[in-house]
Structure 1
Amino acid sequence: MNTTYLDERHIVALEKLVADPEEVQDVAPPRVVPMYVKDTPCTPLEHPLEYTYVYSFFLRPPGKFDPVEYAQYVQQIAAVRSVEQFWSVYRHIKRPCDIGEKVDVHFFKKGIKPVWEDEANLKGGKWILRLKKGLSSRIWENLLLAMAGEQFLVGDEICGAVCSVRNQEDIVSLWNRTADNIGVTNRIRDTLRRVLNLPINAVMEYKRHDECLKPAKYPYQTTGIVYPGG
């Protein structure tokens, strides 16, 4: 059993992220709340997933923040290893469109941290969709279902997914292990278009993680990629 400790600000964030926090964490004295991420074995009546996945989130700490410390502020919510466990957690987590905070929500295979520096991610990359506000909840749900249901058919290439809730847009990304394998990345792209039911004019960007690790030449330049819906 893994145990992490939340400060008061993260407790507030968790309450905003989870519709019923008591369903996924134990009650503890104020200000120091242990959140236990349980890897519960499947019962004979449950339908096991191919991989165990972990829900987590990141909320930027107050004051000056070094992005290198990102992993230290990732707070786990729950681990799921069956269809039934997936839904028992998912139904208590707020949808991206209902979250008011700037927050990153993660859904990653157990053992893989949602950071570029993790060994599973170092040589990989991610497909990125930039979404207008109000569109991310449906896209995020369909993506999680496709991952849990092993729709991508690329072996262990899929590492996890991130939904970044921001003021003007939401950003959904799917991470994979091997950026150099063009056949795999293209297959992931094509499967994303199908399972997310993207319109023909939806633009997707692929970005290698080793590019993210390099100092940005133009740190304020963005791609401007938007999924317009419709």
Structure 2
Amino acid sequence: MASSLTGPALAATRAALSAAMADNSTSSDENTEPDEVQEINMEAQAEGIRTVFNDPTNFNVKHPLYSSWTLWFDSPMTKNRNMPQTPISAVPQTPGPVPQTPGPAGAQGWMEDIKRVINFDSVEEFWGLYNNIVPPSALPQKANYYLFKAKFRLEGIIPAWEDEANKNGGKWSIQLPKDKNRNNVDKMWLYTMLAAIGETFDPSLTSTDPSGPPPTSLITGVIVSTRPQFYRISIWTRLAPGASDDDVKLRERIEGVGRHFKTSVLGYLEGAKLGGPLATEVEFLSHKDSEKKGKTGKKIVV
């Protein structure tokens, strides 16, 4: 079956697959003795390989992502219900019991209405999930998808400001009027997820010295929200620049995330003005400033 993906989605997937295959090749070379010739029947191997593009439900090749991820969901249907009501069908569920919702007491009440859908850690599992999930354009009003990393702790990062990985961070977000973006929001959300799992949001991850220790990604998760008159897509970060001018490097790194989000993911020109009725620019605000009721913190706009 030929892939129906085009543009950035196909490029991002191919890049992830190529990187994973290169890693596997390197590992095999390391296990081979210097004078040993390793014979591989490539034709026989290829005949048994079924990727997610050949068979979306019965693929047997998995290429690991850099991080594990968890998809969460909530909507008016999930509130005060004992059983999860998720907009998903025929998705291979992660074996084992669903972990109890972690986090400080301040997040517990709100998190009771959010349902964990699935964990995944490979390119194939992501596409198996995506092929069976309701797109944002078809979600009910006041529904949200939360895609957050699960690598840093066993139970993962929960989509709450109070989580240890989020409490010192902030978010890039854009608000899009529904009537003008109903045909675009699904593609925007797909590209946002691909940039997150492909670790392309944070430019410092690829621009640092490869011989040194790898930096920790700024990205903790991404969210899409549907509201009566608009959609909102957000990128959450683990750090946010302070009010002082001393935090220049972090601010530059945060701005790099925002520019990549605006131009490479959403597809807008860097200097384009997007604000208007029910619409915002691509804006960053720390979680601490967001918590200040009735007060507007200092935003970064790209």
TM-score calculated relative to the size of structure 1: 0.70
Residue 138 (structure 2) pairs with residue 122 (structure 1): no
Whole-angstrom distance in 1 between the partners of 2:251 and 2:175: 22
Residue 131 (structure 2) pairs with residue 91 (structure 1): yes
Paired position in structure 2 for 1:165: 226
Aligned runs of 1:29-178 on 2, under 5 Å?
45-60=61-76, 61=79, 69-110=109-150, 111-133=156-178, 134=182, 135-153=184-202, 154=204, 155-178=216-239
Offset, 1:218 = 6.0
Query: Could you say what the CA RMSD is over the residues aligned between the two structures, in angstroms?
Result: 2.4
One-letter code aligned to 2:236? W
- CA, structure 1 residues 85+93, in 2 after alignment: closer, same or farther (shift >3 Å)? same
- Which stretch of structure 1 is more off in the superposition, 170-179 or 191-200? 191-200
Aligned runs of 1:181-196 on 2, under 5 Å?
181-193=250-262, 194-196=264-266
Among 285, 288, 291, the alignment partner of 1:213 is 291
Offset, 1:101 = 3.5
Offset, 1:147 = 1.0
One-letter code aligned to 1:116? W
Whole-angstrom distance in 1 between the partners of 2:68 and 2:251: 26
Long gaps (5+) in structure 1:
1-42, 226-230
SS in structure 2 opposite 1:178?
coil
Offset, 1:192 = 0.7
Counting aligned pairs with the same residue, the percent is 29
Paired position in structure 2 for 1:11: none
TM-score calculated relative to the size of structure 2: 0.54
Whole-angstrom distance in 2 between the partners of 1:99 and 1:195: 21
Q: Tell me which structure has the larger Cα radius of gyration.
A: 2
Runs of 4+ deviating beyond 3 Å: none
1:2-53, CA deviations, whole angstroms, 9 ceiling, x for partnerless residues?
xxxxxxxxxxxxxxxxxxxxxxxxxxxxxxxxxxxxxxxxx98311100001
Q: Which structure shows the bigger proportion of residues in strand conformation?
A: 1
Residue 127 of structure 1 contacts residue 206 of structure 1 at CA under 8 Å; is this kept in 2?
Answer: yes
Residue 65 of structure 2 contacts residue 121 of structure 2 at CA under 8 Å; is this kept in 1?
Answer: yes
Residue 143 of structure 1 contacts residue 195 of structure 1 at CA under 8 Å; is this kept in 2?
Answer: yes
Residue 107 of structure 2 contacts residue 160 of structure 2 at CA under 8 Å; is this kept in 1?
Answer: no
Residue 103 of structure 1 contacts residue 164 of structure 1 at CA under 8 Å; is this kept in 2?
Answer: yes
1:31-79, CA deviations, whole angstroms, 9 ceiling, x for partnerless residues?
xxxxxxxxxxxx98311100001111122436xxx98722222101111
Paired position in structure 2 for 1:35: none
Residue 116 of structure 1 contacts residue 213 of structure 1 at CA under 8 Å; is this kept in 2?
Answer: no
- CA, structure 1 residues 212+67, in 2 after alignment: closer, same or farther (shift >3 Å)? farther
SS in structure 2 opposite 1:188?
helix
Residue 106 of structure 1 contacts residue 162 of structure 1 at CA under 8 Å; is this kept in 2?
Answer: yes
Paired position in structure 1 for 2:153: none
Whole-angstrom distance in 1 between the partners of 2:124 and 2:175: 30
Whole-angstrom distance in 2 between the partners of 1:86 and 1:95: 14
Offset, 1:213 = 2.8
One-letter code aligned to 1:198? Y
SS in structure 2 opposite 1:73?
coil
Offset, 1:201 = 2.4
Residues matched between the structures, number: 175
One-letter code aligned to 2:220? C
Residue 108 of structure 1 contacts residue 114 of structure 1 at CA under 8 Å; is this kept in 2?
Answer: yes
